[in-house]
Protein backbone atom coordinates (compact mmCIF):
# COMPACT_ATOMS: atom_id res chain seq x y z
CA UNK A 1 0.00 0.00 0.00
CA UNK A 2 2.79 2.43 0.88
CA UNK A 3 4.71 1.76 -2.32
CA UNK A 4 1.84 1.70 -4.82
CA UNK A 5 -1.03 3.48 -3.04
CA UNK A 6 -0.66 6.89 -4.68
CA UNK A 7 -0.05 5.43 -8.14
CA UNK A 8 -3.12 3.20 -7.86
CA UNK A 9 -5.26 6.10 -6.64
CA UNK A 10 -4.00 8.34 -9.45
CA UNK A 11 -4.71 5.68 -12.04
CA UNK A 12 -8.20 5.11 -10.65
CA UNK A 13 -8.79 8.87 -10.69
CA UNK A 14 -8.03 9.04 -14.42
CA UNK A 15 -10.96 6.70 -14.96
CA UNK A 16 -13.46 7.89 -12.37
CA UNK A 17 -12.67 11.63 -12.31
CA UNK A 18 -13.73 11.66 -8.65
CA UNK A 19 -11.16 11.62 -5.85
CA UNK A 20 -13.41 9.79 -3.38
CA UNK A 21 -14.25 7.04 -5.88
CA UNK A 22 -10.57 6.72 -6.77
CA UNK A 23 -9.64 6.29 -3.11
CA UNK A 24 -12.39 3.69 -2.64
CA UNK A 25 -11.21 1.77 -5.68
CA UNK A 26 -7.61 1.90 -4.45
CA UNK A 27 -8.71 0.32 -1.17
CA UNK A 28 -10.68 -2.31 -3.08
CA UNK A 29 -7.60 -3.07 -5.18
CA UNK A 30 -5.50 -3.86 -2.12
CA UNK A 31 -8.29 -5.94 -0.57
CA UNK A 32 -8.63 -7.91 -3.80
CA UNK A 33 -4.84 -8.23 -4.00
CA UNK A 34 -4.72 -9.66 -0.48
CA UNK A 35 -7.54 -12.09 -1.24
CA UNK A 36 -6.04 -13.25 -4.56
CA UNK A 37 -2.32 -13.11 -3.76
CA UNK A 38 -2.06 -16.90 -4.04
CA UNK A 39 -3.30 -16.61 -7.64
CA UNK A 40 -0.53 -14.21 -8.72
CA UNK A 41 1.38 -16.12 -11.41
CA UNK A 42 4.55 -13.99 -11.63
CA UNK A 43 4.06 -13.64 -15.40
CA UNK A 44 4.34 -9.89 -14.97
CA UNK A 45 5.55 -7.50 -12.31
CA UNK A 46 3.57 -6.97 -9.14
CA UNK A 47 2.96 -3.35 -10.20
CA UNK A 48 1.50 -4.44 -13.54
CA UNK A 49 -0.78 -6.92 -11.77
CA UNK A 50 -2.03 -4.19 -9.41
CA UNK A 51 -2.64 -1.84 -12.34
CA UNK A 52 -4.61 -4.54 -14.16
CA UNK A 53 -6.81 -5.05 -11.06
CA UNK A 54 -7.24 -1.26 -10.79
CA UNK A 55 -8.29 -0.89 -14.42
CA UNK A 56 -10.75 -3.77 -14.17
CA UNK A 57 -12.32 -2.38 -11.00
CA UNK A 58 -12.53 1.08 -12.57
CA UNK A 59 -14.25 -0.25 -15.67
CA UNK A 60 -16.68 -2.21 -13.49
CA UNK A 61 -17.43 0.90 -11.44
CA UNK A 62 -17.92 3.03 -14.56
CA UNK A 63 -20.45 0.52 -15.88
CA UNK A 64 -22.46 0.56 -12.67
CA UNK A 65 -25.71 2.50 -12.70
CA UNK A 66 -24.98 4.36 -9.49
CA UNK A 67 -21.67 5.66 -10.74
CA UNK A 68 -23.02 6.84 -14.09
CA UNK A 69 -25.44 9.11 -12.24
CA UNK A 70 -22.71 10.98 -10.36
CA UNK A 71 -21.92 14.50 -11.58
CA UNK A 72 -18.19 14.89 -12.37
CA UNK A 73 -16.75 18.08 -10.94
CA UNK A 74 -13.22 17.29 -9.72
CA UNK A 75 -10.04 17.25 -11.75
CA UNK A 76 -6.49 16.00 -11.08
CA UNK A 77 -5.18 16.92 -7.66
CA UNK A 78 -2.52 19.59 -7.76
CA UNK A 79 0.76 19.00 -5.96
CA UNK A 80 3.39 21.69 -5.78
CA UNK A 81 6.57 21.53 -3.75
CA UNK A 82 8.45 24.56 -5.08
CA UNK A 83 8.34 27.99 -3.48
CA UNK A 84 7.34 30.48 -6.15
CA UNK A 85 5.67 33.83 -6.29
CA UNK A 86 1.89 33.66 -5.91
CA UNK A 87 1.48 34.78 -9.53
CA UNK A 88 3.84 32.11 -10.87
CA UNK A 89 2.19 29.48 -8.68
CA UNK A 90 -1.25 30.47 -9.97
CA UNK A 91 -0.08 30.36 -13.59
CA UNK A 92 1.49 26.94 -13.05
CA UNK A 93 -1.62 25.62 -11.33
CA UNK A 94 -3.95 26.96 -14.03
CA UNK A 95 -1.75 25.53 -16.78
CA UNK A 96 -1.61 22.14 -15.06
CA UNK A 97 -5.38 22.15 -14.54
CA UNK A 98 -5.96 23.14 -18.18
CA UNK A 99 -3.82 20.26 -19.44
CA UNK A 100 -5.43 17.85 -16.96
CA UNK A 101 -8.90 18.88 -18.12
CA UNK A 102 -7.93 18.27 -21.74
CA UNK A 103 -6.50 14.84 -20.90
CA UNK A 104 -9.62 13.94 -18.91
CA UNK A 105 -11.79 14.95 -21.88
CA UNK A 106 -10.08 12.45 -24.20
CA UNK A 107 -11.96 9.22 -24.97
CA UNK A 108 -11.00 6.53 -22.44
CA UNK A 109 -8.99 4.43 -24.91
CA UNK A 110 -6.70 7.41 -25.56
CA UNK A 111 -6.73 8.80 -22.03
CA UNK A 112 -5.54 5.55 -20.49
CA UNK A 113 -2.49 5.23 -22.77
CA UNK A 114 -1.50 8.88 -22.18
CA UNK A 115 -1.77 8.43 -18.40
CA UNK A 116 0.06 5.11 -18.34
CA UNK A 117 2.86 6.29 -20.63
CA UNK A 118 3.50 9.82 -19.39
CA UNK A 119 2.26 9.86 -15.79
CA UNK A 120 2.92 6.28 -14.71
CA UNK A 121 6.00 5.99 -16.97
CA UNK A 122 5.17 2.51 -18.23
CA UNK A 123 6.81 1.14 -21.37
CA UNK A 124 4.88 0.19 -24.51
CA UNK A 125 5.33 -3.45 -23.53
CA UNK A 126 3.95 -2.91 -20.03
CA UNK A 127 0.97 -0.97 -21.39
CA UNK A 128 0.40 -3.71 -23.95
CA UNK A 129 0.30 -6.38 -21.23
CA UNK A 130 -1.76 -4.25 -18.88
CA UNK A 131 -4.49 -3.42 -21.39
CA UNK A 132 -4.34 -6.75 -23.24
CA UNK A 133 -3.54 -4.99 -26.52
CA UNK A 134 -0.87 -5.76 -29.07
CA UNK A 135 2.11 -3.41 -29.30
CA UNK A 136 1.15 -1.70 -32.60
CA UNK A 137 -2.27 -0.87 -31.15
CA UNK A 138 -0.68 0.73 -28.09
CA UNK A 139 1.63 2.78 -30.30
CA UNK A 140 -1.16 3.90 -32.61
CA UNK A 141 -3.43 4.84 -29.70
CA UNK A 142 -0.65 6.85 -28.11
CA UNK A 143 0.05 8.58 -31.43
CA UNK A 144 -3.65 9.34 -31.93
CA UNK A 145 -3.98 10.49 -28.31
CA UNK A 146 -1.12 12.95 -28.81
CA UNK A 147 -2.81 14.34 -31.93
CA UNK A 148 -6.14 14.70 -30.15
CA UNK A 149 -4.52 16.32 -27.13
CA UNK A 150 -2.54 18.72 -29.31
CA UNK A 151 -5.73 19.72 -31.12
CA UNK A 152 -7.58 20.25 -27.84
CA UNK A 153 -4.73 22.30 -26.39
CA UNK A 154 -4.64 24.48 -29.48
CA UNK A 155 -8.34 25.19 -29.09
CA UNK A 156 -9.80 22.98 -31.76
CA UNK A 157 -12.09 20.08 -31.18
CA UNK A 158 -11.68 16.66 -32.67
CA UNK A 159 -14.41 14.41 -31.37
CA UNK A 160 -14.39 10.64 -31.51
Give the percent of the chain with pLDDT over 70: 76
The Cα 105–Cα 79 span in angstroms is: 21
pLDDT for 75: 36
What is the domain-level CATH number for residue 3? Answer: 1.10.1740.10
Domain of 150 in residue numbering reads as: 84-155
Give the percent of the chain with pLDDT over 90: 28
Structural contact between residues 48 and 126, judged by C-beta atoms closer than 8 angstroms = yes
What is the domain-level CATH number for residue 128? Answer: 1.10.10.10
Residue 124 backbone dihedrals phi, psi, to 5 degrees? -55, -45
User: Does some domain include residue 29?
Assistant: yes
Output the pTM of the full model.
0.54
Backbone angle region of 122, left / alpha / beta, with phi > 0 → left and psi within -120 to 50 → alpha: beta
Q: Supply the DSSP symbol for 123.
A: -
Q: Is the pLDDT of residue 113 over 50?
A: yes
User: Does some domain include residue 17?
Assistant: yes
Q: What is the mean pLDDT of residues 5-12?
A: 91
User: Does some domain include residue 135?
Assistant: yes
User: Does some domain include residue 78?
Assistant: no
- Band (pLDDT 50/70/90 cuts) for residue 134 is very high
Q: What is the mean pLDDT of residues 47-74?
A: 71
The Cα 100–Cα 75 span in angstroms is: 7
User: Does some domain include residue 113?
Assistant: yes
The Cα 46–Cα 95 span in angstroms is: 34
Tens-digit pLDDT profile for residues 68-103: 544 333 333 444 444 566 766 666 666 777 788 888
Domains held by the chain: number: 2
Amino acid sequence: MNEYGQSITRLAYTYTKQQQFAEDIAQDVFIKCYEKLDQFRYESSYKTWLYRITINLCKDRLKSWSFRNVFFTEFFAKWSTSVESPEAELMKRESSQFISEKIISLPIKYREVIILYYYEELTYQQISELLNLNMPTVKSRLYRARLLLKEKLEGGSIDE
